[in-house]
């Protein structure tokens, strides 16, 4: 239920013109009619995935999950 109202497009393939409207229409066609659909296409979405990965990798709590080449 919450997922339908919080769809955020990210990554370079979401830069196609009209992709947010198309996603909204296609999801609306598949979802129950009572669901509120919200698709957000931030202007910086081309780099959102990289930025998120960069932030995650810089967290000290994430470093314990790293796998060394030797492992």
The domain limits of the chain are 3-63
Name which of 45, 51, 59 is nearest 14 in CA terms: 45
Q: Kindly report the average pLDDT of the chain as a whole number.
A: 92
10-20 mean pLDDT: 93
* Residue that has been written with the tokens 């910086």 in this structure: 44
CATH topology of domain 3-63: Nucleotidyltransferase; domain 5 (3.30.420)
| pLDDT tens digits, one per residue of 29-58 | 999 999 999 999 999 999 999 999 999 999
Q: Which two tokens stand for residue 27?
A: 């999801």
* Residue that has been written with the tokens 């930025």 in this structure: 51
**In whole angstroms, what is the distance from residue 6 CA to residue 15 CA?**
18
């Amino acid at each position: 239920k919450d997922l339908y109202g919080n769809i955020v497009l990210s990554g370079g393939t979401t830069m196609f013109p009209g992709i947010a409207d198309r996603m909204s229409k296609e999801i609306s066609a598949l979802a129950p009619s009572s669901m509120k659909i919200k698709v957000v296409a931030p202007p910086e979405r081309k780099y959102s995935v990289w930025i998120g990965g960069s932030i995650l990798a810089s967290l000290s709590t994430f470093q314990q999950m790293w796998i060394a080449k030797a492992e």
